[in-house]
């Protein structure tokens, strides 16, 4: 039996092996992704993002437990993306310890990832890993990212539903505003609401949300805000991101959170946004792959020395960057 077949049959060891190949971007991994692709498109991808220490890992752990406790338990995959930790393969000891409640449950699979060197980088690797889980029949894929930079925003954009986690005790600023991730939030979570200052965190968040109240559902694409066409307002009601409180350390509020995640999925399907997001996501992914392939081809044609010679001319202002591109691409 091929590795792909074993994964489709639910073999966890084959899954672990395949994920390693996919993360390495090996020929075997690529072949498997091709074979698995027709089996994807079913899982609900849920991004969980926010500043370090807000309680994302604890929350992901609780959400996964919540799904496992349901009358019809969902199969849950967790992808913990941690670019800050290239040496440990991305897994922080703390994460491992907190995830222990879930270990031994065959309905849960946890994968940590760190930075990858290639141009496609972490966002692409995460997308590929999510596809493997999707094909392997996981109902929900929870993707934890640190909401700090563009890469994280790209990863969050992969998700159907994005949770932005805030917590009191991070100063007066709402971290997500700084990182520009509030606009991608479908659900806002005030975690650590056992702390007394949770009230003011929630108030600040609500103020921000009222200001930013979306007039129309918009997506960011190529850095531009695009209105999504179609869907009359009465047929496709706006989703107004709810603000939910949680205490990830004891699970308070997590049932309501899981319910809101489910409601968002339902909203996406009813409004047609599910298919639109899916299409946009695949379009962005295809574009990234084309770019990676073209740059790769370019690098095999233009030597390092030639590239540096042209660069030197640009630095010396004897050649403009636009002219330089023409020169490099023409092979002259």
Ligand X SMILES: Nc1nc2c(ncn2[C@@H]2O[C@H](COP(=O)(O)OP(=O)(O)O)[C@@H](O)[C@H]2O)c(=O)[nH]1
Cβ-based neighbour number of residue 154 at 10 Å? 18
Among 65, 91, 195, 256, binds ligand X (CB under 6 A): 195
Least spacing, CB of residue 58 vs Mg ion, in Å: 8
Alpha-carbon separation of residue 217 from 55, 75, 157, 179, 220 (angstroms): 28, 30, 14, 20, 10
Which residues lie closer than 8 Å to 107 by C-beta, 6 or more apart?
Answer: 68, 73, 74, 75, 76
Stretch that binds Mg ion, among 51-59, 167-175, 288-296, 305-313 (CB under 5 A): 51-59
Stretch that binds Mg ion, among 7-15, 26-34, 49-57, 320-328 (CB under 5 A): 49-57
Among 249, 276, 319, 324, binds ligand X (CB under 6 A): 249
Least spacing, CB of residue 75 vs Mg ion, in Å: 22
Which residues lie closer than 8 Å to 299 by C-beta, 6 or more apart?
Answer: none
Q: Which does 195 bind (CB under 5 to 8 A by kind): ligand X, Mg ion, none?
A: ligand X
Nearer to Mg ion, 80 or 284 (CB): 80
Rounded distance between C-alpha atoms, residue 47 and residue 159, angstroms:
5
Q: What residues form DSSP beta bridges with 49?
A: 145, 164
Is residue 49 at the binding interface for Mg ion, with CB under 5 A as the rule? no
Rounded distance between C-alpha atoms, residue 267 and residue 217, angstroms:
12
Is residue 57 at the binding interface for Mg ion, with CB under 5 A as the rule? yes
Whether 241 contacts 186, CB under 8 Å: yes
Nearer to ligand X, 197 or 266 (CB): 197
Is residue 255 at the binding interface for ligand X, with CB under 6 A as the rule? no
**Interface with Mg ion (CB under 5 A):** 56-57
**Interface with ligand X (CB under 6 A):** 50, 52-58, 94, 191-192, 194-195, 247-249
């Amino acid at each position: 039996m091929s590795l792909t077949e074993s994964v489709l049959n639910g073999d966890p060891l084959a899954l672990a092996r395949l994920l390693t190949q996919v993360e390495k971007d090996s020929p075997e991994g690529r072949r498997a992704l091709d074979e698995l692709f027709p089996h994807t498109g079913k899982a609900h991808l849920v991004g969980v993002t926010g500043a370090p220490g807000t309680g994302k890992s604890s929350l992901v752990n609780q959400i996964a437990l919540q799904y496992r406790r349901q009358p019809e338990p969902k199969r849950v995959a967790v992808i913990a993306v941690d670019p800050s930790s290239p040496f440990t393969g991305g897994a922080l000891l703390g994460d491992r310890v907190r995830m222990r409640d879930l270990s031994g449950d065959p309905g849960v699979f946890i994968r940590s990832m760190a930075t990858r060197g290639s141009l496609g980088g972490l966002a692409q690797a995460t997308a590929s890993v999510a596809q493997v889980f999707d094909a392997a029949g996981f109902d929900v894929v929870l993707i934890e990212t640190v909401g700090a930079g563009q890469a994280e925003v790209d990863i969050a954009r992969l998700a159907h539903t994005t949770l932005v986690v805030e917590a009191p005790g991070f100063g007066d600023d709402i971290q997500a505003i700084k990182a520009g991730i509030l606009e991608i939030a479908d659900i806002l979570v005030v975690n650590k609401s056992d702390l007394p200052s949770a009230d003011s965190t929630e108030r600040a968040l609500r103020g921000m949300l009222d200001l930013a109240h979306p007039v129309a559902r918009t997506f960011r694409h190529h850095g531009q805000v695009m209105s999504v066409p179609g869907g009359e307002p009465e047929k496709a009601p706006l989703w107004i991101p709810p603000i939910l409180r949680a205490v990830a350390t004891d699970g308070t509020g997590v049932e309501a959170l899981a319910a809101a995640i489910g409601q968002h999925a339902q909203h996406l399907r009813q409004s047609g946004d599910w298919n639109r997001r899916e299409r946009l996501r695949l379009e962005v992914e295809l574009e990234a792959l084309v770019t990676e392939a073209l740059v790769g081809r370019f690098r095999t044609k233009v030597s390092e020395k030639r590239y540096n010679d042209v660069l030197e001319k640009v630095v010396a202002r004897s050649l403009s960057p636009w002219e330089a591109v023409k020169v490099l691409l023409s092979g002259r």
